[in-house]
Amino acid sequence: MIHPIVKFGDPVLETPTKWVEKFDEDLQKLVDDMFESMYAASGVGLAAPQIGLGQRITVIDVSNGKTPEARIVLANPEIIYADGQQREEEGCLSIPGFRGYVERPQYVTVRAQDAQGNIFERKGEGLLARAFCHEIDHLNGVLFISHLSMLKRDMIKRKIRKMKKAGEW
């Protein structure tokens, strides 16, 4: 089932999520829905708050659905290693139409649980490292615009407020 993507302004996006404790059929269904919703929106990552759920789980696929092995489920993830630097333009399905340069580590290793609850570690470099950081930020209630300069962030927020007034958000 494809869920609509929650947009900036909804408090769920800025609220830290709750730990996933039950690794059951419902969670597997949620993961399937999250992948489906992410591909439908042409995203490379989707965190549960983006479909309105305050759960500490995210899905990532930096291959855009081209490589099955690229499908990553991170439940209760934490970054256990980060090194290097990259500065690239970043966007977010919940803030459509806006992008900004964000500095992230070039190498990131996460420890997480999969949809069955098995603990694993995964290394990411470049775009995948960026996706790990961006999605784990979501689970902490943090959006990429909070990494931009105050000037740029306020400009984006002002434009969104205008769009909201005009019924375009």
Of 116 and 144, which has the nearer Cβ to Ni ion?
144
Of 73 and 92, which has the nearer Cβ to Ni ion?
92
Tokens of 51: 């479909």
Catalytic residues: 135
Q: How far is the CB of 116 from Ni ion (least distance, A)?
A: 25
Of 40 and 167, which has the nearer Cβ to Ni ion?
40
Of 23 and 70, which has the nearer Cβ to Ni ion?
70
Q: Which stretch binds Ni ion (CB under 5 A): 53-61, 87-95, 106-114, 117-125?
A: 87-95
Cβ distance 61 to 71 under 8 Å?
A: yes
**Concatenated DSSP letters for the chain?**
-PPPPPPTT-GGGGSPPBPP---SHHHHHHHHHHHHHHHHTT-SEEEGGGGT--BSEEEE-TTTTS-GGG-EEEEEEEEEEEES-EEEEE--TTSTT--EEEEE-SEEEEEEE-TT--EEEEEEETHHHHHHHHHHHHHTT--GGGGS-HHHHHHHHHHHHHHHHTT--
In the list 92, 112, 115, 156, the residue contacting Ni ion (rule: CB under 5 A) is: 92
Residue whose C-alpha is closest to residue 77's, from 20, 34, 6 = 20
Q: Which stretch binds Ni ion (CB under 5 A): 9-17, 31-39, 91-99, 147-155?
A: 91-99
Q: Does 72 bind Ni ion (CB under 5 A)?
A: no
Q: Which stretch binds Ni ion (CB under 5 A): 8-16, 53-61, 66-74, 85-93?
A: 85-93
Ranges within 110-149 binding Ni ion (CB under 5 A): none
Q: How far is the CB of 92 from Ni ion (least distance, A)?
A: 3
Q: How far is the CB of 159 from Ni ion (least distance, A)?
A: 18
Residue nearest to Ni ion (CB): 92
User: Using alpha carbons only, how large is the chain's radius of gyration in Å?
Assistant: 16
Binding region for Ni ion (CB under 5 A): 92
